[in-house]
Amino acid sequence: MVFQVDLNSDMGESFGAYTIGCDSDVIKQVTSANIACGWHAGDPQVLDNSIAMAKERGVAIGAHPGYPDLLGFGRRNLNVTQDEEYVYVLYQLGAFFAFAKKHGMEIQHLKAHGAMYNMAGKDIRLAIAICKAVKDFDPQIILLGLAGSKLIEAAKEIGLRSASEVFADRAYEEDGSLVDRAKPGAMVNDEDLCISRVVRMVKEGKVEAITGKDIAVKTDSICVHGDGPQALAFTTRIREALTTKGVRLVNFGSFVE
């Protein structure tokens, strides 16, 4: 049996004179890049450069839209309507497309950012709005969302392909949702444990929930971070562990159905 998984990371979140993230290092680690579209972060020049960088490294690209809250980096819940959610995603997806087209790149996926991701993960109406915007624009684009969340459910309902992502350093509830960060035990701090959990999620499709019970978790992609040397080193360890265990690292566009 062949095991394969994608590694995705957020990129292109610099803005004007401001630089954030270690994009030129991260791009060497991942198979899919989520690139900011200029609302919660990013700007047209950053967008242009980020897609060029992904193309050069053979990394698949996805639009990474967020809320119009640059001051909060799109991380703060904003009480938008379903219609607003739809047009916000469509607008950013179109802008992203223009740069992908310029570089002759296909859009593999769309992944909502921050509060947009979290809110839609729990609210089917917002999740539907996102999926509908994607499908109306191009039904070949894959929705990347939290495994087991409303985003994945909405993609199925709308008739859009989806890729389920997992987190190496987060604990899971029995229902497959992430343990709230405010709760004790929400973060898995032991790196060795993180890595063995990731390998098991990929090879067995299972993870031990915070209650101790094993649960199923669909694992098309692992979300990794590139915001510093520690994050990059951890990603390197994940890559090595997976490769050693015979897992092929490849963008999910090549295998999700």
Q: Which residues bind a second copy (CB under 8 A)?
A: 15-20, 38, 41, 43-45, 47-48, 68-73, 75-80, 83-84, 87-88, 90-99, 101-102, 115, 136-137
Of residues 40 and 111, the one with the C-beta less far from a second copy? 40
For CA atoms 19, 230, 117, 240, the dihedral sign is: positive
Instruction: Give the nearest distance from C-beta 136 to a second copy in angstroms.
Output: 5
Closest CA to 221 of 152, 165, 169: 165
Residues 6+ apart with CB under 8 A from 58: none
Mark 120-139 as b/e (b = at least 16 C-beta within 10 Å): bbebeebbbbbbbbbbebee
Cβ atoms of residues 217 and 166 within 8 Å: yes
For CA atoms 127, 134, 100, 28, the dihedral sign is: positive
Cβ atoms of residues 89 and 43 within 8 Å: no
Instruction: Give the nearest distance from C-beta 41 to a second copy in angstroms.
Output: 8
Of residues 119 and 147, the one with the C-beta less far from a second copy? 119
Of residues 24 and 77, the one with the C-beta less far from a second copy? 77
Residues 6+ apart with CB under 8 A from 209: 171, 172, 173, 174, 215
Instruction: Give the nearest distance from C-beta 236 to a second copy in angstroms.
Output: 24
Of residues 6 and 23, the one with the C-beta less far from a second copy? 23
Of residues 133 and 217, the one with the C-beta less far from a second copy? 133
Instruction: Give the nearest distance from C-beta 84 to a second copy in angstroms.
Output: 7
Instruction: Give the nearest distance from C-beta 209 to a second copy in angstroms.
Output: 27
